[in-house]
Amino acid sequence: MKKPIKKKILNIINHLTTVVLLLLLISMMFFVISSKASGGEPEVFGYQLKTVLSGSMEPGIKTGSIIAVKPGGDMTRFQPDDVITFMEEDGKLVTHRVTEVIASGDSIIYRTKGDNNNAEDINPVLSENVVAEYKGFTIPYVGYFINFSQSKNGAFLLLIPGFLLLGYAGISIWRAIRELELPKESVKEEEKSSSLT
């Protein structure tokens, strides 16, 4: 009775291992392909995934999270309390909350502040520099993984699950062949013993 239970548990572990490795491989392929197709940041259903590298928006958006932002549309539509992603002069993207909207002739200027910062941002944001709106979707700590995967070392290490999956598939095939050969050997042994008697 103990052997069938042990065999069932091993089969369940084998299947779970296969599923986890396969899901990991598929998710890595998805992130790599979507980031290459969009020219940088991965995009899902029209939302760009951005990595948060500072704690200026904590506790709502933690450092190392990924957030979904919606690019495009009228960038003059934002109101106080909206969270926007904008380009700073040095080309860095920042996601902060709008505190004030200032109409200046034909232009709209936003005053912004990080939720965790003591003061508003020094430079106001021109509506032309807004690239997207944060829609409230965040996954904590996954951004660390994405940043690492985009580095050379990370890309190399991400090949490991693929090799593990291939190795695991090879072991599974070898075990299946061995299990097929065992009944043949036992049949031959039975034939030998019956021919001797």
Tell me if 69 sits within 8 A of 50, measured CB to CB: yes
> What gap in Å lies between CA 167 and CA 66, rounded to an integer?
32
**Cα dihedral sign, 36-29-170-176:** negative
For 75-108, b where at least 16 C-beta lie within 10 A, e where not — what string?
A: beebeeeebbbbeeeeeebbbbbbeebeeeeeeb
Q: Which residue among 34, 38, 54, 149 is the active-site one?
A: 54
The residue behind tokens 């693929």 is 162
Sequence-separated (6 or more) residues with CB below 8 Å from residue 81:
97, 98
107 is catalytic: no
* Residues carrying an active site annotation: 54
